[in-house]
Structure 1
Amino acid sequence: MKAKIGRKSLGLALLLGLLAGGAPPAAMAGQEQLAPLVNAGEKLLRFDWPLLRIGTGEYAEGPTGVTVFTFGRKVHAAVDVRGGGPGTVNTDYLRLGYAVPDLDAVVFAGGSWYGLEATTAVATAMMDDGYRGGAWDNLALSVGAIIYDLGDRRLNEIYPDKKLAQAAYRAARPGLFPLGSRGAGRLARTGGLFGCNAASGQGGAFRQVGEVKIAAFTVVNALGVVTDRDGNVVACHKDKDWPKTLKAADLVQGMPASRKPDWKGLATGKDERRNTTVSLIVTNQKMDQAELERLAVQVHTSMARGLQPFATIFDGDVLYAVSTAEIEEAQGLPSFDLSTVAGEVMWDAILSSVPSQPVAATPARKALLKPDAVAALAGDYSFSGHVKVTVTAEGDRLYAQATGERPAFAIKKETKVELLPVSATDFMVPGRYPLTARFKEPGILVLNPGEWEQVGRR
């Protein structure tokens, strides 16, 4: 049985460790120094809905992030939870079906269980800013859900905290929603069931039918693959023998061989509940609680078309449905028609979540650096308290090996791998998931340079 350690005991233990010459993990030591990046991204969904405001926050060092939706007033909401590993805050309250609108915000975050802090942080920001208070009929209610973006996806354990969530809330704006690898979807992945491990993110779509407005938002971190309306897999790091055009049905049915014992996945028994798609559907049409709950169920069910398979035991899928009640049903659509249209809008949102995929670098045919220049790159590079990479030189060749607690992507602990030259600064490790290593400047090694880069220091 593990002993329970309180905050005071943990703080004392940490202090004693420092006095003894130890050091805390990098994420623990540096979390408070991180600077929030709000509303980042140039690829945007634009729509006309002044009441609906959205803010995103990110820690680029993770990378990880949070997405906050607010509605300008108390609104009605319902929830539908699927899959075997959901992580939520205040979700049960939405199931009680009260006639009075209570909800102020929906919050999505990375960081797994640690990211749940973001949901309550938005509520306290509303109180701190004077928007809500302590009276029973004026309490701030935020609900939220998280995705898993830790483990072997990155080399640190930075999480979206209170500071980041409150910065995103205070930066919320109407009519703009960043798409792709942004906000809570900053380090999302899809297709792990088939070894695809494609980059994913957050998606959004908007449609107006007469006076009725419908907006769909989703952070796609599914075990299954994103599928378009023709049944094609939208993003996947394919196995070498797979066809150029890949159908989701082929993968699900095992053709081509979509599951192999040597893949890190269900076949090896190492999968954890690390995949989740969290979603929000919003309409301005007034709906009673039964209609709103059916909207949540129908739209969530429809998502199995765009994500295959969906709601597995290893996913923690959650969908919130919100009505801002700006127009009466007489001005709008029958609830069944509204739900049907909303399912199509959500499919559009799923498709818009897929960012541009990383492209493998092409190795040069010969060494590009002389032995002394190669030797200058050697050393121990620390990425966090858990991950260190040792780079060694042998003549004009460069090798890398993970020497910390964990591997560094394709750089493993068991044996060293050769870094093949691409340019004077860039090298790569070939494979199904090719890894680029960039010696950015003296003493700095960047793995996966660009959108999802990890920085190590010598």
Structure 2
Amino acid sequence: MGFASRAATAGLLALAIAGGAQARADQDALKPVLNAGDKTLNFDWPMIRVGTGEYTEGPTGVTVFTFGRKVLGAVDVRGGGPGTVNADYLRLGYNYPELDAVVFAGGSWYGLEAATAVETALKDDGVRDGDAFTEEPNIALTVGSIIYDFGPRRLNEIYPDKRLAQAAYRAARPGVFPQGAEGAGRFAKTGGMFGCNAYSGQGGAYRQIGDIKVAAFTVVNALGVVTDRQGRVVSCYSGASWPKLGTLRSADLMQAFPDSYKEAWAGPEGQASRKNTTISLIVVNQKMDPAELQRLAAQVHTSMARALQPFATMADGDVLYAVSTAEYDGSAKMNSPSLGVAASEVMWDAILNSQPVQPVAPKIDAKAMPKAGVLAGLAGDYVFSSRVTVKVLAEGGKLTAQATGAQDAYAIGRKAAVELQPVSANVFTVPGRYPLTLDFSTPGRLVFNPGHWRQVGVRR
């Protein structure tokens, strides 16, 4: 390689490093939001501590479960695309407690950093050290799983990183679990199989039967629909000709498939993510041996097919962890099948508790259309990320928008501009199956879907 070639290569490498450093700096500038959420599960079990962390700019997040001491763990994997850390170690079935924490995260493969980050935090904080060969190993062990929350559902690729995971771990508290679109479930969705594309989240449930305690936690990002005990679909943006939510049954969607996927059946509109996952944790205080705990994991995971239909497809990465804290070993212990039945019902409750209130489409008000001069002030190129820019034009008393770059911006595509309909002087919408609100209230910024799932673009 000649001098000129080496110089050119070095220059490209320097640019790549600089670009990576800038991207990392942008991620490092994000501020963790810890233990957010108004809807919580409150339960009396000091052994279980839960911490959540979120980057609202994503939005995306992480949920960390830690225990008062090392516990026995097992894992059951059903989905066709799981993303895990250390899960295979639990399959070995060693009959002594080694597990310190279970970590759930968004961010797809990049979110797996969260699990190892909690391990290093345990060491850095002096809770664990590096000794793995004593009679009672003191080296930290965490397991973790991720959901896919990139792609069409959001307009950037911010991920839950080491800093966020360690902050969530250190903020963990006993007996409180945020539910809905919080933590690892911050931008989860369900029902993409049928075009429902409803917002989802994380859910928890708790039950005590005599001396036996059972807690279930799950992040529902399923390709299938969430189904209640009466067989009704819980969350869905239905097609125009579909039965109303409350009378729509998952059995109807399943039996009508593939017609329920086609446009002729008022099927999916827009892009639906085909990378989905439900990650779950069942915890019992009853002492169990590895074989019993493994069978509990399999029984509960199998039962989840009642609440999520379809379940464990090739496009799902379903993983369930089971933990025994071994706090109770008395005469009132339940046999494994009975405990599995009770735990399965608690998990169904947790799945139902994961569903947030769905945003509704704003009403168009033609009289609210601003004058031409005001519209002109809203025009410009709004940058959401390196992948998405939205070009807004004001022409002929109308406001139009078109996406540029590598990805559409929801109903605002790259092929052609769409007209924005007024809701108020600074707020517009694009009518369609899925609610889309565009807010220009802050000068120089365009906010898609202001509120819990907002995405912000800055005019350049």
Q: Fold match, TM over 0.5?
A: yes
Return the alpha-carbon distance in structure 1 between the equivalents of residues 414 and 274 of structure 2. Answer: 25
Give 3-state SS (helix, strand or coil) of 2:338's partner. helix
1:389-437 CA deviation, whole Å, 9 max, x = no partner?
Answer: 0100013211000122211111100000011000111100011113110
Whole-Å separation in 1 of the counterparts to 2:17 and 2:68: 47
Instruction: Report deviation, 1:358.
Output: 1.0
1:411 matches 2:407: no
Secondary structure of 1:169's aligned partner: helix
Find the counterpart in structure 1 of residue 4 from structure 2: none
Q: d(CA) in 2 for partners of 1:106 and 1:10?
A: 43
SS at match of 1:16: helix
Describe the SS at the equivalent of 2:261.
coil
Per the alignment, residue 435 of structure 1 pairs with 436
Q: Which amino acid aligns with 1:207?
A: R
Secondary structure (helix, strand or coil) at the match of 2:232 reads coil
CA offset at residue 17 of structure 1? Answer: 5.7
Q: Which residue of 2 aligns with 1:378?
A: 379
RMSD: 2.4
In the alignment, structure 1 residue 97 sits paired with structure 2 residue 99: no
Deviation larger for 271-280 or 416-425: 271-280
Q: Which amino acid aligns with 1:260?
A: K
TM-score of the superposed pair, with normalisation by structure 1: 0.93
Amino acid at match of 2:208: Q
Question: What is the alpha-carbon distance in structure 2 between the residues aligned to residue 18 and residue 131 of structure 1?
Answer: 36
Alignment of 1:124-143 (within 5 A): 124-136=120-132, 137-143=137-143
Structure 1 stretch displaced more, 37-46 or 387-396? 387-396
Letter in 2 for 1:196: C
1:258: which partner in 2? 260
1:149-298 maps to which residues of 2 (within 5 A)?
149-244=149-244, 245-254=247-256, 257-260=259-262, 274-298=275-299
Q: Deviations over 1:80-130 (max 9, x none)?
A: 000210000001110111111100000000000000000000000000000
* Paired residues of 1:224 and 1:309 also in contact (CA < 8 A): yes
Check 1:119–1:12 CA distance in 2 against 1; reply closer, same or farther (3 A cut): farther
Deviates more, 1:271-280 or 1:203-212: 271-280
Match of 1:359 in 2: 360
Which of residues 43, 47, 71 is equivalent to 1:47?
43
Q: What is the CA deviation profile of residues 122-151 of structure 1, one whole-angstrom value per residue up to 9, with x for unaligned ones?
A: 000000000000111110000010000001
How far apart are residue 154 of structure 1 and its match? 0.5
- Alignment deviations for residues 158-198 of structure 1 (CA, whole Å, 9 cap, x no partner): 00000000000000000000000000000000000000000
1:42 maps to a residue whose letter is D
Structure 1 residue 26: deviation in Å?
7.8
Q: Which amino acid aligns with 2:90?
A: L
- Compute the displacement of 1:52 (Å): 0.5
Q: C-alpha separation between the residues in 1 aligned to 2:17 and 2:209?
A: 62
Structure 1 unpaired stretches of 5+: 1-8
Distance 1:194 1:399 in 2: 29
Equivalent position of 1:5 in the other structure:
none
- Identify the range of structure 1 (24-33 vs 228-237) with the bigger mean alpha-carbon deviation: 24-33
The TM-score, its normalising length taken from structure 2, stands at: 0.93
The answer to whether the 8 Å contact 1:35/1:59 transfers is yes
After TM superposition, the structure 1 = structure 2 runs for residues 300-449 of structure 1, keeping only pairs within 5 Å, are 300-449=301-450
Q: 1:193-223 CA deviation, whole Å, 9 max, x = no partner?
A: 0000000000000000001110000000000
% identity of equivalent residues: 66
Q: Measure, in 2, the Cα distance between the counterparts of 1:101 and 1:162.
A: 25
How many residue pairs get matched?
446
- Quick one: structure 1 residues 370 and 378, their matched pair in 2 at CA, closer, same or farther if it must change by over 3 Å? same
- The alpha-carbon deviation at position 258 of structure 1 amounts to 1.3
Quickly say closer, same or farther: Cα 1:65–1:14, change in 2 above 3 A: farther
Residue 368 (structure 1) shift: 2.7
**Residue type of the partner of 2:438?**
A
Aligned-partner Cα distance in 2 for 1:434–1:283: 40
Q: Which residue of 1 aligns with 2:30?
A: 34
Counterpart residue type for residue 424 of structure 1: A
Distance change in 2, residues 1:262/1:124 (3 Å): farther
Q: Go from structure 1 to structure 2 and tell me whether the alpha carbon gap of 1:11 and 1:179 turns closer, same or farther (over 3 Å shift).
A: farther
Q: Hey, what's the Cα distance between the residues in 1 that align with 2:239 and 2:115?
A: 39
1:108 maps to 2:109: no
Amino acid in structure 2 at the alignment position of 1:228: D
What is the DSSP-based 3-state SS (H/G/I as helix, E as strand, rest coil) of the residue aligned with 2:206? strand
Checking the alignment, whether the CA contact within 8 Å between 1:259 and 1:267 is kept in structure 2 is: no
